[in-house]
Amino acid sequence: MASSDEELVTLSQGGDLDSFNQLVLRWERPIYALAYRVLGREEDARDVAQEAFLRAFRALNGFKGQAKFSSWLYRITLNLCRDWIRREKRTPVSQAPEGIDIIELAGEATPSESMEELVGRRQLGRAVSKAMAMLPEDQRTAIILKEYHGLTFQEIAELLDCPLSTVKTRLYQGLSVVRKQLHQAGVSADALKH
Percent of the chain with pLDDT over 70: 78
Measured on CA atoms in the order 179, 32, 46, 64, is the torsion positive or negative? positive
- φ/ψ (deg, to 5) at 122: -60, -45
CA–CA separation, 88 and 21 (whole Å): 30
pLDDT for the residue numbered 1: 62
Average of per-residue pLDDT across 98-120: 46
pTM over cut 0.85: no
Domain boundaries, the chain: 5-88, 116-186
Class of 116-186 per CATH? Answer: mainly alpha
What are the tens digits of pLDDT across the range 121-132?
667 777 788 888
DSSP one-letter code for 109 = -
What are the tens digits of pLDDT across the range 54-104?
999 999 988 887 888 988 999 899 999 888 888 876 554 444 344 444 334
Query: What is 5-88's CATH number, 2.130.10.10, 3.30.870.10, 3.40.190.10, 1.10.1740.10?
Result: 1.10.1740.10
Check pLDDT > 50 for residue 111.
no
What are the tens digits of pLDDT across the range 131-166?
888 888 888 888 888 888 888 888 888 888 889 999
